[in-house]
Chains A and B, each alone.
Chain A
């Protein structure tokens, strides 16, 4: 899944209103699990609502991420091919 290793993109580097997919979480099991149970597991898709402070929208949930954690979440930018179709309904994986 993490094929492009040349330029790793972190969640806190994305501009507001972009959609992304979580590809990797650096760091411990706790961080990964906490993200997963709150709706942001590896492979999930979400949207940046605000950058400062970092708020992410996953499905019907809004999550706030602290600075420390945000710098550990590796993401892939989703080029909005189906943006208009998915922007209203929550994005789902699979």
Chain B
């Protein structure tokens, strides 16, 4: 049976918000494939539906109100219907809003292709008490009309039966045409006849369809004429007919085409619907009174945006933590299995680090699209754009620009993806290009570090807020500038349908969010992984600094000092030992008799524990020195130490040993960091940093800062960590006072006390310059071209240099 299945190509088309995607999901279930239509960033969704003896390949076309495309989505829908010639087209129609929906149907009829009408949302019609005579409607439209309720799977089998019957020619198809009236029909006939006489000429679709498109002045069809051999003749004919119609009608003929199509729809409705005379439930209108209220509309929108933001980042945070932990564990495992060396470094830092870097964004993206799906499916998104339009219009932006901008404060990756909700491709591009200017969460640590190091705590908040504000202002200015120059073009006439409010189905929302997440992992993920491995390679070779011996020597000196202290302690305790066979190493610095004196070791451990408890309390509760709580903690430390001091001489020895031990560990860590810093200096990253430091000289950045900026290309979070290594402090986070002191000392020294200005310049630069690799990967995915990736890199870095330079220039007035 299975191999006998006949394949059928079925396309689903219909207006936005008529349940098209629900029908598609119900028909195809999990057997779906999401991709992009070739050449455009419009999602292509296809799937299969199997019934006895048939395999239906179902394509979900983008929602469209007509076959005269205004947006790339609609262009895709039309091109597919006209050129790909599916075996059957399912035109899904919102039965509760027939008139507007039948406008598209009237155009589909002109194409003379096998058509089945799925009359959806019959439950809404029934709830209103209206009756639709589907038999009669089928007669009038000349094709099968199947009433369904997609959300409840009602009569989907009936729909499929009809589709198969039409595909196999079992249903007789009556050709129904919209009558455009005597004047227009004559012109249509003239052009059709010409096309019939020139059989080789075809612009796609039936002759009547082509004639109507040309006479209506469809830009794409007129464009196609230019490329034809006999195009000139046909063009002349069309122009003459257009002029004739215009003079007869006294206005543009396209008005009449539209009017006739609506007349056709209205006529069909009059004959098939019996309306319940009772008042309609105006729930949607009532909800709209609140949600689009001229005063309350904005705060409600703000609240929902805040909620979206919170859900995306707060709910996403624990998952991100788990992913990070999981990969940390995996890295540890790999490090224990693979012997130390280049391979281990590649696997642990390059591959596991890279894959982790990709996956860590997935929770954010899933939650964001979960929220966007809910907002979209419920019908609120249309209102949101409209509410914001009043405000954004003044800035020369579109209402829908606002959503990606808000998301951008969290993470630029999902923000760029959120630009999908914009219909106009130019608005979409402008949003994608300016959203990186909204300061994302990963940049915050850099600000915190620098503000903490150079500015009094009282100004910290204001300065960071100022940086964020600068980002917003730049985004708006750049959006306006781009829209007025390289992305100049027609603004979409702002009119949109406010669909009835629906409660979104869990299935649709989950499917939607899941597919977006998967798309991100598959496409952007591979690019990010690749880039992470490259950046790893930039910092992995060579494996050691120019003079590794010097660091080895420093370590041996430390060991020697530590051993000496141990000997002194032993002497104090009157212990005897034999040193003959003992040569302390970095790994085993303890002299042998220590292991034999269990009492001393236990006591030292106890002292260490007491100190550790103390620092843990201070750190966890963020106790300030001098505060009452701090004093309490100090007292506790004192007490636990006194409790240990029963044997005074042994206790003194233990304290000394503890101090020597911690000094030794710190020294080793510092030597390690210094070695890592020296090693990085001779890696490609170090060389790039040193080269760039000449370019950055006017901004006051040295090679260390320059290298950190290059590393920040992988992810902005990395900037702080890299600075930590380069300033020889080892692994740090932004609140490390040690790193703050070190940076502040070095930058101040370089610029005679002007370190704060360098810091400010650096913050401005970090705000604006190249977004991280993940963002660039998403930009590539969303725009479909490396050109815009290159443009983003160049314009953002140029802008960063200019604005940072300006900051330095203005700031130097205070120096």
Contact = CB atoms under 8 A, between A and B. Distances in A.
A53 B382 CA distance: 13
A44 interface: yes
A53 B97 contact: no
B103 to A, nearest CB: 6
B502 interface: no
B205 to A, nearest CB: 18
B493 A90 contact: no
Given A64-B495, A66-B393, A94-B267, A30 B97 contact: no
B266 A55 contact: no
A65 B494 contact: yes
Interface string A47-87: 00110110101111111111111000000000000000000
B285 A63 contact: no
Given A90-B99, A94-B267, A55 B493 contact: no
Interface string A11-26: 0000000000000000
Interface string B258-294: 1100110011011000010111100011001100101
Contacts of B292: 50, 53, 55, 64
A70 B711 CA distance: 50
- The bracket for how many chain B residues form the interface is 35 or more
Contact of A61 (B68, B100, B491, B492): B100
Question: Which DSSP category, helix, strand, loop or mixed, fits chain B's interface?
Answer: helix
B493 A61 contact: no
Interface residues of A, number: 43
A18 to B, nearest CB: 16
A52 B389 CA distance: 12
B497 A38 contact: yes
B815 interface: no
B494 A69 contact: yes
A5 interface: no
B605 to A, nearest CB: 71
Contacts of A8: none
Contacts of B104: 37
B96 interface: yes
Contacts of B382: 64
B390 A53 contact: yes
Given A44-B262, A55-B288, A92-B266, A68 B275 contact: no
B122 to A, nearest CB: 14
Contacts of B457: none
A3 B284 CA distance: 37
B269 A31 contact: no
Contacts of A90: 99
A59 B390 CA distance: 26
A89 B279 CA distance: 9
A43 B259 CA distance: 7
Contact of A37 (B66, B269, B294): B66
Interface of A: 1, 27-44, 49-50, 52-53, 55, 57-69, 88-90, 92-94
24 contacts: A30-B493, A31-B495, A33-B66, A33-B68, A35-B493, A38-B100, A39-B100, A42-B255, A42-B258, A43-B255, A43-B259, A44-B262, A53-B292, A59-B97, A60-B100, A63-B496, A63-B498, A64-B494, A64-B498, A66-B495, A68-B494, A89-B277, A93-B263, A94-B262
The list of the 10 closest CB pairs from A to B, nearest first, reads A66-B494, A37-B65, A31-B493, A37-B66, A60-B97, A41-B258, A39-B100, A36-B258, A62-B498, A52-B294
